[in-house]
Amino acid sequence: MTYSFSRIDGLLLEGRYELLREIKGSTGAGRVKIGRMLECRYCSTRRANQFRKIAHTFPEALGNKWVISLDECDQCNQLFSLYEGALANAVSPFLTLGGVRGKGNKTRQTGRTAGNEVLEQRRTETGRQFLAVANGYNLNSFASVNSNGNFEIKIPIAGVPFVPRLAYKALAKMGYALLPDDELQNYQKLKAWLLDTNDRVDFPVLECGMSFASIGHAPPFVAGCLLRRVAAKGMHPHIIFIFCAGSICFQLDLLSDHLEDHIPPVPCGAIGINYSVIIGDDKGERLLTFDYGMPIHINWASQASTPQPVETMILNFNPQTLKGEFTPVFR
C-alpha cells in the first residue's frame, strides 16, 4: 500500500500559489531524511555530540515513523518536544479514535483513567482492537435514534489541557523545517520566536485551520507541504503550510519577517484550503480519496492552559449496513 497526495482548492486553481515543497511518509515506505547533517538549522550548532538522537520532522506522537530531520540538534529537539506534546494533547481524541500509534508504538488514551470521560483503544484476548468508552459514561443518557433510523450516540470528550500557543509553535516549527535555503532569510524572526522560551511577543491572533476526514482507524501516513505565493505583492500570505496526519489536517500562514507587511488585516477564516489525500496501491491504482474538507479556524495565540477543542464526538451508526461515522463538535 502506498499513499499519494493531491490538493483540491480554489487558490491553486486560480494560480495564486505554487507547490514549493511536499514531504510525505507512510507505511510501506522507507525513511525520508531532510536537512544537512551536523548543522542545526535552528541554533546553528555544529557540535557532533549534539546530534545523537533521532529528530522527527513531524511529531512521532501524531504517528510519524518515517520523516527525519538531520539538521535538528538534540537541544532544539528537546525544546520542540514541549511544543509537540501540546499539539498532541490538542488533538488527543482524534489520535485515540484513529488508533494512531505514537511514541513507543502505543495508542494515546484521552482523559484520565479515574476521570468521568475516558476514550481508549483496547484489545481482546485474541488481539482484536476495539474502542472503549469508560468510567462515568452512561450509554442510555447519550444514545438516540434519529429520523433516518440510525443510532446516534453522543460521546463526551475529556477536556485534556493544552497550551494553544505551544501547539501553534509545533506547527510553525514543522513549516520552518521544510523551508528551502533561499527562503530561510525571510523567516529569521520566526526562528528566533521558536527558540524563545520566554515568549513575550504580543500575538492577539495566531490563526490555525483544522479539518478532518474519516475519524476512526485512519491510514498511517503523514504529509507536509508548503504553498508559495506566485505574485510578489499578492494580497495573501507568502507561504502557507499544510500538515496532515491520519484523520487530521492543519493549515496556517507561515509568519514571514516582512513579506506580508503590505497586506491589511483579514478576518479569521478568510483563507481556507480543501486538502485531499489519494490512497492507492503499488501499481498506482486509486483505492480511496481521503477528503479533509474545509477547515475550522481557531485562534491559538493564548499562552494559558485550556481544554482541547473537541467537546463531543457524535457517532452516527446504521444498524442495517453496520457502517458509521464520527463527527466532532467543537467547544
Residue 316 β-bridge partners:
152, 325
Higher pLDDT among residues 274 and 146, named by residue = 274
Rounded CA separation 331/309 (Å): 6
Q: How confident is the model at residue 1 (pLDDT cuts 50, 70, 90)?
A: very low
Bridge partners, 105 (sequence order)? none
The answer on pLDDT for 229 being more than 70 is: yes
Q: How many whole angstroms separate alpha carbon 238 and alpha carbon 253?
A: 8
Model confidence, pTM: 0.89
What residue type is assigned to position 170 of the chain?
Answer: A
**Residues contacting 284, CB < 8 A, separation 6+:** none
Would the pLDDT of 50 be above 50? yes
Hey, what's the cell of 307?
Answer: 481544554
Least confidently predicted of 68-77, 133-142, 215-224: 133-142
What is the rounded CA–CA span in Å between residue 260 and residue 253?
10
Closest to 28 measured CA to CA, from 68, 72, 65? 65
Q: Is-contact 155 119, C-beta < 8 A?
A: yes
- Is the distance from CB of 226 to CB of 57 less than 8 angstroms? no
**Which DSSP helix (H) or strand (E) runs through 95?**
helix 92-97
Q: Please answer whether residues 30 and 16 qualify as being in contact, where contact means their C-beta atoms are separated by less than 8 angstroms.
A: no
More confident residue, 212 or 84: 84
The amino acid at 289: T
The rounded distance, in Å, linking the Cα atoms of 320 and 323 is 8
**Regarding predicted confidence, which is higher, 248 or 269?**
248
pLDDT at 235: 85
pLDDT band of 2, cuts 50, 70, 90: very low
145: pLDDT confidence band, cut at 50, 70 and 90? low
pLDDT tens, position by position, 270-303: 777 888 877 666 666 666 677 888 888 999 999 9
* pLDDT above 50: residue 134: yes
- 121 pLDDT above the threshold of 60: yes
Task: Count the neighbouring beta carbons within 10 Å of the beta carbon of residue 124.
Answer: 8
| Residue in 206, 208, 262 with CA at minimum distance from that of residue 234 | 262
